[in-house]
Amino acid sequence: MAKIRTNPKMAWLIKACIISSVFIITYIVLHIFQCGQEEMFLNRDQLGAINAILALEEEPAPDSSRSVLDGIEKDKQGLVSSYLENVLPGKNALEIKELFKVYDTKHLSTILPSYSFKVDSFFWLTDKKLFLEIIFWALFGLMANLMYTVPIVEKFDKKRIPEHIGKIFYTPFVVIVIYLSINGIVNKGTIQFDGIGKSVIVLAFVLGFFTRRSVVLIGRIKDLILPVRNGETGKTSDSDGQGNSIRGTIVIDNVDDDTRAMNNEYVAVKITGIESEYVQTVNPDRAGMFSFSNVPDGHYKIESELVIGDKRYYDEGELEIEENTEGIDVNVVLKESEVVVK
């Protein structure tokens, strides 16, 4: 009985769709049964409306008793309370009531600009659940990247599947470390979780989508924490596989030295990520030397093209940049060809 040959790319996509569906369903179910919260600050227009309420002039009679004055104060509290209940999403009557227990009405104009209300939200943006929200959206970004890039890859390398699986495990940790680092920098060394908004979801998704660049950013953070001293030898962030260098020499086949020297600078050398959107193009110097810097780990296609008169010279190949690569030397031999690079 003949065996049916399966397409490895299609098989991978089916598995990736199943994993993505499991993540999405799990996320939705958890958020439906466990409501979230987020902190909300009043905007400028809302603060202006409250200040207008507090500024209402209600002149009591000269012989008014203390109870009359308290009544006027309570009237303003009632107006502010009703307004807050209308502009804040969810039911926050209890929190608003507690606000008036702690602060007098005359203090509200000073307190409210920096006061955060905890309001109902579909997302988990407060307390410890914030980290679960970051992990979910980092994984969503990663899966979106894989689902986008793998179908457009010309050659699907099954050997890179373990790398994809590994990303599922290390991407959340990378994203959380970057988030905490940014949080600490913004808050001048103190990590705070007050006033976290939906922007953290966008950040987690983007960092997960561009996992390779996120790892590069981790290398930059490492250099800030553990800088290399002047004259110290050893690996830097570039040699740790976070921003690799590629250098090479152009050789134009069947061309004399004078013609080669005149045209070396016009050669276009381009590297394109086979499983990423990374693209970089450089031109060699007159000696035919070229280099790329800060190239993330990955699988790349390298193309070189030169047109001299009615002749086209072309070369292409692939290169693999793995972790801890200290530098890659590439020799490019351009041969006369009819291939047109678009």
- Quickly state the pLDDT bin for 3 (edges 50, 70, 90): very low
| pLDDT the model gives residue 227 | 66
| pLDDT the model gives residue 239 | 40
User: Rg of the chain over CA atoms, in angstroms?
Assistant: 30
| pLDDT the model gives residue 69 | 45
Highest-pLDDT range among 16-25, 113-122, 179-188, 252-261: 16-25
| pLDDT the model gives residue 338 | 61
The answer to whether 296 touches 163, Cβ cutoff 8 Å, is no
Torsion of CA 193, 196, 201, 203, to 10 degrees: -80
Mean pLDDT within 19-27: 93
Higher pLDDT, 227 or 169: 169
Q: What is the mean pLDDT of the chain?
A: 79
| pLDDT the model gives residue 68 | 43
Q: For residue 342, is pLDDT > 60?
A: no
Partners of 307 in the β-ladder: 312
Q: For residue 341, is pLDDT > 50?
A: no
Least confident segment among 51-55, 85-89, 226-230, 312-316: 226-230
- Quickly state the pLDDT bin for 144 (edges 50, 70, 90): very high
Percentage of the chain exceeding pLDDT 70: 80
For the 244-336 domain, the top CATH level (class) is mainly beta
Q: Which are the contacts of 33, defined by CB distance < 8 A and separation ≥ 6?
A: none
pLDDT digits (tens, 9 = 90+) for 160-195: 788 888 889 999 999 999 998 888 887 776 666 666
Partners of 305 in the β-ladder: 268, 314
- Domain spans in the chain, listed from the N-terminal domain onward: 8-34+124-225, 42-57+67-115, 244-336
Mean pLDDT within 307-318: 84
| pLDDT the model gives residue 49 | 86
Three-state DSSP class for 146?
helix
The answer for 309, left when phi > 0, alpha when psi is -120 to 50, beta otherwise, is left
Q: For residue 141, is pLDDT > 60?
A: yes
Check the CA dihedral 307-308-311-317 and report its sign. Answer: negative
pTM of the model: 0.61
Least confident segment among 165-179, 219-233, 288-302: 219-233
| pLDDT the model gives residue 64 | 46
Q: For residue 24, is pLDDT > 50?
A: yes
3-8: Cβ within 8 A, 24+ apart: 8/156, 8/158
